[in-house]
Amino acid sequence: MKGKGSAMNEKVLPFRSVLIFGGAGFIGSNWAHRLLKSTDARVHIFDNLSRRGVVHNLRWLQEHFAGSDRLQVTIGDIRDGALVERAVQKATEIYHFAAQVAVTSSVNDPRSDFEVNVGGTFNILEAARNSSRRPCVLFTSTNKVYGNMASEAIVSSRSRYSYMGGDGVSEAQPLDFHSPYGCSKGAADQYVHDYARVFDLPTVVFRMSCIAGPRQFGNEDQGWVAHFLYSALEEQPVTIYGDGRQVRDVLAVEDLMRAFEAVRESRERTAGQVYNVGGGLANAVSLLEIIEQIEQLTGRRLQYQFER
């Protein structure tokens, strides 16, 4: 991971009061479970339970840690500034995973996409800035902020496209927001980064690739690895947009958790930084290649069609 930005002069603190926006989601529930199991942190989950499967994730956490006074849950929306401010008051660490995550939804309803991704993030940043605890804020952005990188030279093979550059792109890659989703996440990304520069708020931005793993309820718009796997098991067809040779950088959620821990343990150096987070070239895979792997694992043929 490469970074840029200013550092913060604060000692690394033990886990105390952790607030997870989007804490019932795929990444949030995995992180909450890890904190509750491995640390003495008090974990506050804030989620509007709007995505498919998150109720199951929340129930799983509540059953797993039944009787514990370290797990608190607020059902709410990050667009509610007053509710966000109350939730932030006691937090010493904030993990902001809540978002509208589908490109198609952003095109169908760009206003809602903007209000959640930009307005909701702004509410969290302002609440953190005004808190006497000055909590650190880790925000999960997206590699979509780099656009389609049309200027990058590629080579094609039977099953994939590959960049000729070799090592992928760094955080110095120019930003190029595409789609309302790319614009809203990009604006939020820049707000989080700028609050470190302007207000000395300890923030970290993760520009993430495709994350996959347990408790992911993927669909056509988001969580494509899980979506393909579920479709194969349920013998449902999938639609591939393009020719299937487009490559995705896949990272296991367990490795993402370790990245969270690494950033937190080096807070003096990581505050104010931006990181590209992914599995790297060794874990890059095309859609056609993942279909082949799924078919080998399940012993079932995944039906698919192309849409150009």
Per DSSP bridges, beta strands 210-212 and 93-96 are: unpaired
Whether residue 183 is predicted with pLDDT greater than 80 in this model: the reply is yes
Beta strands in the chain (DSSP E): 17-21, 42-47, 71-75, 93-96, 136-142, 154-156, 161-163, 203-208, 210-212, 238-241, 247-252, 273-277, 284-286, 304-307
> What confidence tens digit (pLDDT) does each residue in 49-64 have?
999 899 999 999 999 9
Question: How far apart are the C-alpha atoms of 235 and 301, rounded to whole Å?
Answer: 8
Q: 220 or 101: which carries more pLDDT confidence? A: 101
> Phi/psi zone of residue 23: left (φ > 0), alpha (ψ -120 to 50 degrees), beta?
alpha
pLDDT tens figures, 173-182: 999 998 999 9
For the domain bounded by 17-149+167-211+251-279, which CATH number is listed? 3.40.50.720
Q: What does the domain layout of the chain look like in residue ranges? A: 17-149+167-211+251-279
Q: What is the tens place of the pLDDT at every residue in 249-305?
A: 999 999 999 999 999 889 889 999 999 999 988 889 999 999 999 999 999 999 999
15 pLDDT tier (thresholds 50, 70, 90): low
Whether 93 and 15 have beta carbons less than 8 Å apart is answered as: yes
Residues involved in catalysis: 181
The residue-averaged pLDDT of 195-199 equals 98
How many Å apart are CA 35 and CA 29, to the nearest integer?
10
Contacts of 146 (CB under 8 A, 6+ apart): 169, 173, 174, 175, 176, 207
Instruction: Please compute the mean of the pLDDT values over residues 174-194 and round it to a whole number.
Output: 96
